Structure 1
Amino acid sequence: MRRTVYINGSFVPEDEAKVSVFDRGFLFADGVYEVTAVLDGRLVDFDSHVDRLNRSLTGLGMTMDLNYAALLDLHRRLVSRNGLREGVVYLQVTRGEADRDFHYPVGVAQTLVMFTQEKHFSTETVKGLSVISVPDLRWQRRDIKTVQLLAASMAKMAAKEAGKDDAWLVEDGHVTEGTSSNAYIVTNDGTIVTRNLSTSILPGTTRAAVLRLATEQQLKIDERPFTLQEAQQAAEAFITSATAFVTPVVEIDGMAVADGRPGQIVGRLREIYIEESRKTAV
């Protein structure tokens, strides 16, 4: 079955969804995006995604043409039209179509594209990821979720070529985040360590939810940068994202994390997050 795609006010078959070659998302990566997980046909952490979408747009000097209710309605209609039970909704907003010029155009209509992807979060086997470290080559406003993802793609390809699952990005000797996720370690005393929010990392919606749930479980949290050596010597390591939920990391640069198997804390956090998401999805 062909997917139905939303583009600029219309629901169309995926092979009929077209964007102009003059769109600034294509020419300048002048746009932002969000990926919202779907469980049981409902949207996970939707409010947080809308809040971050608006923050990202503000960071690029844009506003959202649609309000919260309209965005929620479009997401729900797209999920329904595609019969999606488990997967994601991808949303992308660009500044719109204009002749190629580095200056922002005035009075141009935004381009809004949304589509679904099927993914089985709750039933997939979680074996743990092996990651490599690579230099963080991205720009200095990583807190804005822009569509300029070439550096992340290069890092993912480096991991693939090394026969590994993913990469952790390193700057000034410290891990910033994964290629498309936030990164964490668990120390030997059970403290969860993850980099503090700043312009150096994306403020993950799953990150916020997982840290809240960890606090409710009375787990200790330390928001600070950590080194690769700390990660390799940790009791556990993991990532969070809207497409990975909570996923363990069991190997870093060829060195096993602890015994090389998913740990208890990350396993419990994954269970709790999925359980809570099912309850609160909209």
Structure 2
Amino acid sequence: MSRTVYVNGTYLPEEEAKVSVFDRGFLFADGVYEVTSVLDGKLIDFHGHAQRLQRSLGELGMTSPVTMDELLDIHRELVTRNDLSEGMIYLQITRGAPADRDFVFPGPDTPPTLVLFTQAKGLIDSPAAEKGISVISIDDIRWGRRDIKTVQLLYPSMGKMMAKEAGADDAWMVAEGFVTEGTSNNAYIVKDGKIVTRHLGNEILHGITRAAVLKFASEAQMEVEERPFTIEEAKQADEAFVTSASTFVTAVVAIDGVSLGDGTPGPVARRLRDIYIEASRKAAI
């Protein structure tokens, strides 16, 4: 049975979903997105994702066609209609579809395009989380406003393909000698029990899972230092891990072919994953 998706106010089978060829998300990557995880049929960190969505829209001078309360209702309706117990809901808002292609933004008479769909996926029982992942380092050549969650994902996609061709699982991007983030996640290292991750700025996405994990780490009396780190420093770390809405906390066990620790997920990453899952299930809506 096909999924039910949401397009501009209508719930319909995915085979019937259509967006204009003039949509600026298609022509210019002129849009933003969010991904919210679902556990036990409930939404994880929805309000955090909604707040970041509003920030991304504001930074690009865009508006949402629905209120955040209405957006919550749409998420819940999609969970119900697709009988989604565990997985994700993808949301995308673009600047809309004017009458023709033009670099100049359309006027206010062009309504934004809103699309949502579900993805059923096992998040708890994850082989990657159980054994850890390997990453390679690549140059970060993205545009400067990485803090805005836009649909401009070509280079991260290329980075994942570079990793796959190198026999690795993912890539960490490096700018001016320092790790920025993973292709679709925030990056961390652990040395002598201290968690190190890059500070917030335009250089990285302000991860919703990142914020939650750092809060839980602080509550668990773990030491956290927010600063840049190099690939060489990462290779000498005791542990490393990534965080994202779809992977929660997942250990990195090798960087550029160099194993960390004994090559298996370390205690800090495992503990933070357990804490995050337990706390998120309790707070899910």
Identify the residue that residue 153 of structure 1 maps to in structure 2: 157
Q: Deviations over 1:172-203 (max 9, x none)?
A: 11100000000000112x11100000000000
**What is the SS of the residue equivalent to 1:268?**
helix
The yes-or-no answer on 1:144 pairing with 2:159 is no
Q: Deviations over 1:69-126 (max 9, x none)?
A: 1011000000110000000000000000011111110021110000000111112232
Q: Which amino acid aligns with 1:233?
A: Q
TM-score by length of 2: 0.98
Q: Deviations over 1:229-281 (max 9, x none)?
A: 11110011000000110000000000001221100010000001000111001
Q: Which amino acid aligns with 1:143?
A: D
Tell me how far apart the structure 2 counterparts of residues 196 and 233 of structure 1 sit (CA, whole Å).
Answer: 20
Question: Unmatched 5+ residue regions in structure 1?
Answer: none
The yes-or-no answer on 1:12 pairing with 2:12 is yes
Identify the residue that residue 176 of structure 2 maps to in structure 1: 172
Tell me how far apart the structure 2 counterparts of residues 63 and 196 of structure 1 sit (CA, whole Å).
Answer: 28
Tell me how far apart the structure 2 counterparts of residues 274 and 121 of structure 1 sit (CA, whole Å).
Answer: 10
Root-mean-square deviation over aligned CA pairs: 0.6
Q: Deviations over 1:215-240 (max 9, x none)?
A: 00010110000000111100110000
**What is the SS of the residue equivalent to 1:237?**
strand
Tell me how far apart the structure 2 counterparts of residues 199 and 124 of structure 1 sit (CA, whole Å).
Answer: 31
What stretches of structure 1 move > 2 A for 4+ residues in a row?
none
Aligned residue runs from structure 1 range 8-87, under 5 A: 8-87=8-87
> Quick one: which of 106, 110, 114 aligns to 1:108?
110
Question: Unmatched 5+ residue regions in structure 2?
Answer: none
Tell me how far apart the structure 2 counterparts of residues 18 and 224 of structure 1 sit (CA, whole Å).
Answer: 44
Identify the residue that residue 139 of structure 2 maps to in structure 1: 135
Q: Deviations over 1:142-161 (max 9, x none)?
A: 00000010010110000011
Q: Which amino acid aligns with 1:119?
A: K
Tell me how far apart the structure 2 counterparts of residues 63 and 194 of structure 1 sit (CA, whole Å).
Answer: 32
Tell me how far apart the structure 2 counterparts of residues 259 and 166 of structure 1 sit (CA, whole Å).
Answer: 20
Percent sequence identity over aligned pairs: 63
Q: Which amino acid aligns with 1:132?
A: I
Give the number of aligned pairs: 281
